[in-house]
Amino acid sequence: MSISEPQTTSKEPEEKEAANQISPAVFKKLEDMGLDGELTSDQILHIEADLDAHGRWGKRYLVATPQRLIVLSEKENGHNRGKKIRIKRDDGNELVIDLNVPLEQIERTEAKKMVGASSIEVQLKSTFANSNGAPNGNGAHAPSSIVEVVRASAALDKTIEHTAHQIEHLRKHGVLEEADASDESSWVRETCPRCGRAYPEGSHICAFCSNKWMAMARLLSYLKPYSWLVAANLLSSLVAIGLSFAPSFAIAYLTDKVFPNPTQILNGFVATAANYRALWVAIAAIILAQLFSMVANIIHGRGVASLGTSVLHDIRTELYGHLQHLSIAYFDKREVGSIMTRVQNDVQMLQNFLLDGVESIIVSALTVTIVLIFMFSTSWQLALAVLIPVPFVVGATKHYWNGLMRLWRRVWHQNSLLGARLADTLGGVRVVRAFAQEDREAKRFIGKSGQLRDATKSVEQRAANFYPVLGFVMGIGSPITWFVGGYEVLAGTLTLGGLIFFTMLLGRLYQPIQQLTRMINVLTRAMTSAERVFEVLDTKSEVQDVKDAIAVPRLKGDVEFRHVSFGYDIHNMVLHDINFKVDEGQMIGLVGHTGAGKSTLINLLMRFYDVSEGAILVDGYDLREIRHNDLRRQIGVVLQESYLFHGSIFENIAYAKPGAKPHEVIEAAKAAYAHDFIVSFPDGYDSLVGERGMRLSGGERQRIAIARAILHNPRILILDEATASVDTRTEQQIQMALENLIRGRTTIAIAHRLSTLRNADKLIVIEHGRVKEEGSHDELMAAKGTFYDLVEAQQALNTIVTIGG
């Protein structure tokens, strides 16, 4: 995020609302130039770049109308450059025109990505460049009339890319390309409308101004199903805390009512039976109260544990279920790993809070309240005096504790680095030995460990300051009480028992206040986590069933692509006007270079994404109108790298058909030529595979995946490079397995080895996202086109491999 001037950030909300409106200063300048006629058009593009012509932080504006491209920057103020900050206000600084080119004089507009920044370059038509001299706003020199018009930091990469694309569109068609409103998120740098700070990647929660109470309220709504537990909890903790004051009461009572005061002792006090009885009763009351308090504490503790874990379980289940149903596009836009860590961290944070934080807050708050009530009802003057150290306790805790937490995080981080270092070298122990680097690794480890020692030492030493200082501040309460309370006792306004009661309460006042102060931090962090979790929960799947989706329990398997165009983001179309038809039971092969768009075609058929234009028809129905579940259930896929879950081979094959009987699984495995090797494993079908299971060769995994697909019994089958990662011999086995799988199903196969597509009914050659050729293997070979070239090239390569290898 780059806020050039912190004071101006409050302006952001209006700017955000009017993202496409030109800032007033720029508008005025353009008006002065007599361009107001052009500015009324709604086909105007406007961006604010964050780097000036010299590559320093600053503002620069680009405005494109259907007629021209204008770049403006703020007039430089020579002596203000350097370390001094320039105060930038939209209305204050004079704007100068860096560039003013008619669009018709532009040959091409291009976004150029650099390292840490990007720029827009335009190539001017030679006539214009020659007559005007290469207009250059940035001191760079371009011979072939290529001019850099704006530059921005990496924060605006997407905006720059989008803008370059739109300028081209404006230049060619006179209008801006209409973008889907939801697509805006892919190019507009998203900032919090309240403070202008950028949102964290993939989130719309600003940690600085989000409303913590909203999240709190929502988190509390998860308590609803457990309201009786909540009530029992509160009650038990109230009872436990209340009872814990019984000893103080009893002692105060004994002091005032049972034990003799000095005057009585001087007068020769003789204890009565009533005195002894009272002593007995008081002690019994203390023991009983402690007993009940213990019981209440147990109930409370168990209640909190049960409540916290239940709520957490509910949130986790909801989250997991929701993540499973989000569209693939959601995961594409964000890194799966980062979603996982974020969600895990946030849930962990909530767990800490729900299990420990809430308990501690409730107990501390109740204790403080009760203590204050008792204190003020005993002596309000003394109570006020006792409150004097409170601000210091709060202040010291806030100051020390937060600083300490920060340092602790640093230590934890270094600790984890050390762990990573160790895991790295132990994991790579063979490499370390092979290169005889043991000593160096040891030295590096010692270095890291030394850093950790220093960091830990400094934080421990700081912590060593904290508690004594806090102890001193809290200790001040005691002399205050004895002094003020002593005066009151001497003056006769307070009994000795009252004073003793007070001193006992004192020990229970500062500690919970300190605890509460610490909890504020935990609370706000937990609420931020809660908000992020809720945000994921509130994300709607982009690919959704339409309201009256058609149920198709059994597909025939006719597939038709009708004028299909598609791009993962709107400026970057991957497929253009794709047309082809596959009849029921036919097999077609998709052929083309890497990146031609074959896998994208398949993603569309699986409806991981929806087409941008055109339609995909299955059995004559638009894919978008068919019920999601019906579609997925009847499409099977075998990918290049088949993913096997951690579990037995049996479970993996039966994954597509829960509850499959053993004989069905065996049958599928047989058809996939997998049965024999499975049986020869010591544990047969019960052998564990997947991440922590036994190692399988690529061919074996593939055949298990084929068996899974056979059992799934789909109507439409997709083979995505199913034989790419295995050697030729294994390929033959897989090929035979595939033939069993393909029989009777509509099959769409992508294969790198073109020979494997010989049996296809039809081949479709895709090039740069378009259908280049279509026909049978023999037809295409005879036509001597792209396919022929591909086959030739592959054969030549095979010959080399054969000779060389």
Partner 1 sequence: MLGETKEATYLSTAQLEALSLQNGTLMWRAADGAESTVEAHCAFPLSYPDKYIVLRDPQDNELGIIETLATLKPEISDAIGEQLERRYFLPQIIKINKMTERFGSAIWDLETDRGRIVISTRQLNEAVRELGPSRFLVIDVDGNRYEIKELRELPPESQAHFIGR
Per CB under 8 A, residues contacting partner 1 are 1-6, 51, 55-58, 83, 85-86, 114-117, 140-144, 153-155, 157, 189, 197-201, 207-208, 403, 406-407, 409-410, 412-413, 524-525, 528
The crossing angle, in degrees rounded to 10, of helices 510-538 and 212-221 is 80
- Least Å distance, CB 400 to partner 1, is 13
Q: Is 588 helix (H, G, I), strand (E, B) or coil?
A: strand
Q: Which two tokens stand for residue 3?
A: 């806020």
How far apart CA 782 and CA 779 sit, in angstroms, is: 5
Nearer to partner 1, 143 or 658 (CB): 143
- Least Å distance, CB 517 to partner 1, is 16
Nearer to partner 1, 277 or 409 (CB): 409
- Least Å distance, CB 4 to partner 1, is 7
Q: For residue 71, what are the CA distances in angstroms to 63, 120, 136, 147, 680?
A: 6, 11, 11, 12, 73
Nearer to partner 1, 38 or 48 (CB): 48
- Least Å distance, CB 574 to partner 1, is 23
Nearer to partner 1, 143 or 805 (CB): 143
CB-neighbour burial class of residue 232 (10 A; exposed 0-12, middle 13-18, buried 19+): middle
Nearer to partner 1, 82 or 492 (CB): 82
- Least Å distance, CB 783 to partner 1, is 28
- Least Å distance, CB 9 to partner 1, is 9
Determine phi and psi for 256, rounding to 5 degrees. -80, -40
Nearer to partner 1, 156 or 363 (CB): 156
Nearer to partner 1, 78 or 682 (CB): 78
Q: Is 476 helix (H, G, I), strand (E, B) or coil?
A: coil
Cα three-residue angle 88-90-93, rounded to 5 degrees: 60
Q: Is 95 helix (H, G, I), strand (E, B) or coil?
A: strand
- Least Å distance, CB 630 to partner 1, is 41
How far apart CA 283 and CA 240 sit, in angstroms, is: 18
Residue in the structure block whose two tokens are 């270079």: 593
Nearer to partner 1, 4 or 306 (CB): 4
How far apart CA 800 and CA 805 sit, in angstroms, is: 8
- Least Å distance, CB 138 to partner 1, is 9
How far apart CA 458 and CA 408 sit, in angstroms, is: 10
Cβ–Cβ under 8 Å, residues 47 and 159? yes
Nearer to partner 1, 140 or 432 (CB): 140
CB burial string 66-102: b at 16+ within 10 A, e below: bbbbbbbbbebeeeeeeeeebeeebeebebeebbbbe
Nearer to partner 1, 307 or 396 (CB): 396
Strand partners, 680: none
CA-closest candidate to residue 155, choices 56, 71, 51: 51
Nearer to partner 1, 288 or 801 (CB): 801
Nearer to partner 1, 216 or 299 (CB): 216
Helix (H) or strand (E) holding 569: strand 559-569
Nearer to partner 1, 34 or 133 (CB): 133
- Least Å distance, CB 509 to partner 1, is 29
Cβ–Cβ under 8 Å, residues 674 and 630? no
CB-neighbour burial class of residue 15 (10 A; exposed 0-12, middle 13-18, buried 19+): middle
Cβ–Cβ under 8 Å, residues 690 and 647? yes
How far apart CA 723 and CA 720 sit, in angstroms, is: 8
Nearer to partner 1, 195 or 432 (CB): 195
User: Which regions of 644-689 does DSSP assign to beta strands (E)?
Assistant: 647-648, 688-689
Nearer to partner 1, 142 or 781 (CB): 142
Q: Mention every residue, 6+ apart, whose C-beta is less than 8 A from residue 755.
A: 794
How far apart CA 150 and CA 73 sit, in angstroms, is: 10
How far apart CA 451 and CA 444 sit, in angstroms, is: 11
- Least Å distance, CB 117 to partner 1, is 4
- Least Å distance, CB 59 to partner 1, is 11
- Least Å distance, CB 685 to partner 1, is 45
- Least Å distance, CB 42 to partner 1, is 29
How far apart CA 298 and CA 240 sit, in angstroms, is: 9
- Rounded to the nearest angstrom, the gap between the alpha carbon of residue 295 and the centroid of all alpha carbons in its chain is 43
Longest CA–CA span in the chain (Å) reads: 130
Helix (H) or strand (E) holding 581: strand 572-582
- Compute the radius of gyration of the chain from its Cα atoms: 37
- End-to-end Cα distance, the chain: 54
